[in-house]
Amino acid sequence: MTRGRAFTALRRAEARAAWGFMAPALGAMALVAAGPIAWTAWESVHLHDLRMPWLDRPFVGLDNYREALATPRLIAAAGHTAVFAILTVTLEVVAGLGLALVLHHRRRARGVVRAAALLPWALPTVVVALLWRFAFEGPASVANMTLASLNLADQPVAWLSGAVTAWVPIVLADAWRMTPFVALLILAGLQQIDPALHEAARLDGASPWRAFCAITLPLVAPALLVAALFRALDAVRVFDLVYVLTGGGPGAATEPLSLYAFDALMRHLRFGYGSAISMGVFVASFAGALVWIRLMGQRALVREEA
Amino acid sequence: MRGLLPLLLLALSACARPSAAPALTLATSAVGREGALVQAQLARFEAAHPGLRVELRSTPDEADTRHQLFVHWLNAHASEPDVLQLDVIWTPEFAAAGWILPLDRFEPEAGAFLPAAVEANTWRGQLFALPWFVDVGMLYWRTDLAARPPDDLATLAAEAAQPGPPSGFVWQGARYEGLVTVFLEHLGGFGGRILDDGGRVVVDREPAVRALEYMRDSIHVQRAVPADVLSWQEEHARFAFQNGSARFMRNWPYAVPLLSDPAQSKVAGRFGVAPMPAAPGGTSTAALGGSQLAINARSDQPELAYALIQFLVAPAQMIERAQVAGQYPSRPSLYDDAAIRAALAIPAVEARAIVERAVARPATPVYSELSSILQVHLHRALTRQAEPRAALGTAAVEMRALLSRSGLDAEGGW
């Protein structure tokens, strides 16, 4: 009993010390994360329009959220964001896995290849967006020349002014830029796999495909899921790429949520309404991330028990 | 440590406000020739006001970015800069927000300026800014290919559709503010308007539908306008015309000196400018752009600030601006001046004819949002995602909802 009580006291002291150690980190998080989020939440339930100061800043409850949900342009923007996230994350994870496998198996000149693969990732997004814009803009662009030389199109395509075709440079640019990042994450996962497993498979006469499906894929899955989570969170917030490449056009056909929120906040100075949209994006991506992490956690547990 | 202290003091002194001579601050775009011109004019102003310093705050050239910067400053109630260079469409927004001073107490000579520009700077009956220089949309045509510019929009489309190069009529068709100015000119050409005199939305009426149908068909049916313009801004259009690939161009006056420079232009000496043509029953229309000067409402020295504005918009400075930067004076009387006639690369009669056709965009504090609605729906129609009539109908519904939500539909004040 006494030993138990002393143990509890010790634990309590340790807990106090732990809180003390964590305080600076918690304080920093409160300052840079919790504070601004709380402020945004507060703004989102008020009518705050810089252009009309005579309206003051009255509490309007959920009016801003209601207006947002009744705005077709916002619903469309949410759809665009989802489509963009699904397309780019799928492309990047598949291509990233391929690239990682190549990097993993190519011993020679791995450093050079890895550096070359990382180059697109190191470029500023705006530069990437401009590069891809040039590649798809005008009748003499790289994209149109390629199509013409392959006899796939008799007329040059005005990529950026088609509601569907405008997505091609956006998705390709994102995939081109972020695949190396995904590949690096997956490569780290690949290098942790015990080579003995593959050796055993080979001795047992398993085909390379069978070994890939039964050994590589399940063991690299946690890295894949982490990479997909990172990319999905980034994709939901996509802004600069679209801003430079299409500006959300043609019409509003490629406008993602963040660009719409930026318009409401920075161009139209509707702080309350813009904050409501930002809160929506935040809550949705946070909830998505929580669910994803939970799923990943369960997978990890299942594997440990097995 | 000892080495750090002077550094720290230096840093602190750099942060401290210079308190010696009273300083006025002017926030403007200050690049290239225009920047050097402003510096020279400010030096003359300082010489005329001993003991007064004027600091130039260089701000981004791109309109959206400068707008954001100004909003940050003014919303924070900063007393600097004292004088701001505003785009023509910002004045009502800044005036309604209480960020700039009404100029009536200084008794400005409003009658000396272009009426459309004065109207654009007026909010609720008060004048809030003075026009520094004006921009107008005009038609650039090739003097080596035709004896005179097209008389009406139908002829323009027919001539532009002829095979080239040079072929095609290029304008600013990306989804941004420039598209609204191009639309405004076509709209006027068909006799339509965005808002009527009572401030009611009339952009879904018949003339507007026909104007937008004309614009769409000239791209997709007649192929008089290359589809690429749907992602173009001013400079894209200028390059196409300058390289000799386009036959007609709609652009602002800034392109004239650049196109006249044989070092970079293939059409130097082979182009002219004319008012944008109209359709039968419409009026030839030029969208009004340009820069205004206004006083920060929190300025500590509004009188001095007004003196500076008065100096900058005086005839002498305006003539110099036309000579150095090719920017059009906002005083109609100056177009008779010999110096201006020599300075503008086009005959002053033509310039004046275009300037007098200038039409301001709606003067309202919610203009940016109104324009954004219009931009999206115009662009949807031009990229064939919607029929012009349906697109303008939806735009009008959204614009009316915006005006009524902002309490701006009933009161008027346009």
A124 interface with B at CB cutoff 8 Å: no
Q: Which residues of B touch A269 (CB under 8 A)?
A: 71, 93, 368
Q: Does A57 touch chain B (CB under 8 A)?
A: no
Q: Which of residues 60-79 of B touch A (CB under 8 A)?
A: 64, 67-68, 71, 75
Residues B379-411 pLDDT 10s: 999 999 999 999 999 999 999 999 988 877 654
Q: What angle do CA B122, B126, B129 make, to 5 degrees?
A: 55
- CB contacts of A247 in chain B (<8 Å) are 174-176
Q: Among all residues of chain A, which has the CA nearest to that of B376?
A: A251
pLDDT at B269 over 50: yes
Of the pLDDT bands very low, low, confident and very high (cuts 50, 70, 90), residue B414 is very low
The whole-angstrom distance between A263's CA and the closest CA on chain B is: 9
- The confidence score (pLDDT) of residue B345 equals 67
Q: Measured between CB atoms, which of B372, B383, B406 is closest to A52? A: B406
User: B112 or B18: which carries more pLDDT confidence?
Assistant: B112
Mean pLDDT in residue range B85-108: 93
Residues of B in contact with A252 (CB under 8 A): 175, 376, 380
Tokens 């469409």: give the residue.
B89
- A68-121 tens-digit pLDDT: 999 999 999 999 999 999 999 999 999 999 989 888 887 777 778 778 778 888
Domains B20-135+289-359 and B136-287+362-405 share a fold: yes
Specify which residues B274 forms β-bridges with. Answer: B139
Residue A251 has its nearest CB partner, among B75, B96, B175, at B175
Domain ranges of chain B: 20-135+289-359, 136-287+362-405
Residues 348-387 of B with CB under 8 A from A: 365-366, 368-369, 372, 376-377, 379-380, 382-383, 385-386
Determine the residue among A51, A67, A265 to mutate to test chain B binding: the one whose Cβ has the most chain B Cβ atoms within 10 Å: A51
Residue in chain B closest to A244 (alpha carbons) equals: B231
Contact yes or no for A251 and B376 at CB 8 A:
yes
A158: chain B residues, CB-CB within 8 Å: 227-228, 230-231
Average pLDDT over residues B147-165: 90
Residue B16 pLDDT more than 50? Answer: no
What is the CATH classification number for the domain harbouring A248?
1.10.3720.10
pLDDT at residue B15, as a whole number: 46
**CB of B208 closer than 8 Å to CB of B202:** yes
Here the tokens at position B164 are: 């080239």
Residue B234 has pLDDT above 60, yes or no: yes
Can you give the pLDDT at residue B165?
A: 82
What is the pLDDT confidence band of residue B337, given thresholds at 50, 70 and 90?
confident
Burial class (CB in 10 A: 0-12, 13-18, 19+), B145: middle
Tell me whether residues B64 and A137 touch, CB distance under 8 A: no
Return the HEC string of A8-37. Answer: HHHHHHHHHHHHHHHHHHHHHHHHHHHHHH
Residues of B in contact with A51 (CB under 8 A): 93, 96-97, 365-366, 406
Over range B39-52, report the average pLDDT.
Answer: 91
B97 interface with A at CB cutoff 8 Å:
yes
Measured between beta carbons, which residues in chain B are less than 8 angstroms from residue A162?
Answer: 383
Residue A141 has phi, psi (to 5 degrees) of -75, 160
Residue B142, Cβ neighbours under 10 Å: how many?
Answer: 19
For the cut 90, the answer to whether the pLDDT of residue B254 exceeds it is no
pLDDT tier at A54, thresholds 50, 70, 90: confident
Per-residue pLDDT at B412: 43
**A207 pLDDT higher than 60:** yes
Output the pLDDT for position B323. Answer: 85
Chain B neighbors of A139, CB-CB under 8 A: 226, 228
ipTM over 0.95: no
Residue A300: what pLDDT?
A: 56
The pLDDT of residue B387: 96
Of A162, A248, A268, the CB nearest to B368: A268
pLDDT at B170 (0 to 100): 95
Q: Is the pLDDT of residue A53 over 90?
A: no
Q: How far, in Å, CA of A166 to CA of B335, rounded?
A: 45
Whole-angstrom Cα distance, residue A143 to residue B61? 31
Does residue A4 sit within a domain?
no
Q: How much is the pLDDT for B1?
A: 41
Q: Looking at chain B from residue 164 to 193, which residues have their Cβ under 8 Å from any Cβ of chain A?
A: 173-176
A270 closest CA partner among A32, A79, A55, A77: A55
pLDDT digits (tens, 9 = 90+) for B158-200: 999 988 788 899 999 988 899 999 999 999 999 999 999 888 9
Q: Is residue B166 reached through a cis peptide bond, with omega within 30 degrees of 0 on the bond before it?
A: yes
Which pLDDT does position A2 carry in this prediction?
59
> Which chain A residues touch B97 with a CB distance below 8 Å?
50-53
Mean local confidence (pLDDT), A194-214: 88
B216 neighbors B389 (Cβ within 8 angstroms): no
- Beta-strand ranges (E) seen in B19-92 are 23-28, 53-58, 83-87
Token pair of B332 as six digits? 């109609």
Query: So what's the pLDDT on residue A116?
Result: 78
> Which residue in B68, B227, B386 is closest to A158 by CB distance?
B227
Element (H, E) at B248: strand B248-251
Q: pLDDT digit string (tens) for A248-267?
A: 878 899 999 999 999 898 88
Q: How far is CA B130 from the centre of its chain?
A: 14
* d(CA B119, nearest CA chain A) in Å: 19
Torsion over CA: B242, B244, B246, B250 (sign): positive
Residue A3 lies in a domain: no
Share of chain A above pLDDT 70, in %: 95
Q: What is the pLDDT of residues A18-49, one digit of tens each?
A: 999 999 999 998 899 899 999 999 999 999 88
| pLDDT of amino acid B22 | 63
Chain B residue numbers with beta carbons less than 8 Å from the beta carbon of A52 are 96-97, 365, 406-407
B4, pLDDT greater than 60: no
Chain A interface includes B231 (CB < 8 A) = yes
Domain limits at A156?
50-305
Query: Which CATH architecture describes the domain B20-135+289-359?
Result: 3-Layer(aba) Sandwich (3.40)
The answer as to whether A14 is a domain residue is no
Rounded to a whole number of angstroms, the distance from the CA of B97 to the nearest CA of chain A is: 5
> Has residue A38 been placed in a domain?
no
* Nearest residue in A to B237, CA atom: A138
State the pLDDT at residue A25.
92
**Number of domain units in chain A:** 1
B376 interaction partners in chain A (CB closer than 8 Å): 73, 251-252
> Is the minimum CB–CB distance between B228 and chain A shorter than 8 Å?
yes
| CATH architecture of the region B136-287+362-405 | 3-Layer(aba) Sandwich (3.40)
Residue A299: predicted pLDDT: 63
Yes or no, beta carbons of A249 and B174 under 8 Å apart: yes
Q: Which pLDDT value is given to residue A158?
A: 84
- Chain B residues with CB inside 8 Å of A64's CB? none
The reported pLDDT for the residue numbered B409 is 65
pLDDT classification of B19: cutoffs 50, 70, 90: very low
Cβ-count burial of B146 within 10 angstroms (0-12 exposed, 13-18 middle, 19+ buried)? middle
Residue B140 — pLDDT band, cuts 50, 70, 90? very high
User: Is the model's pLDDT at B12 over the cut of 50?
Assistant: no
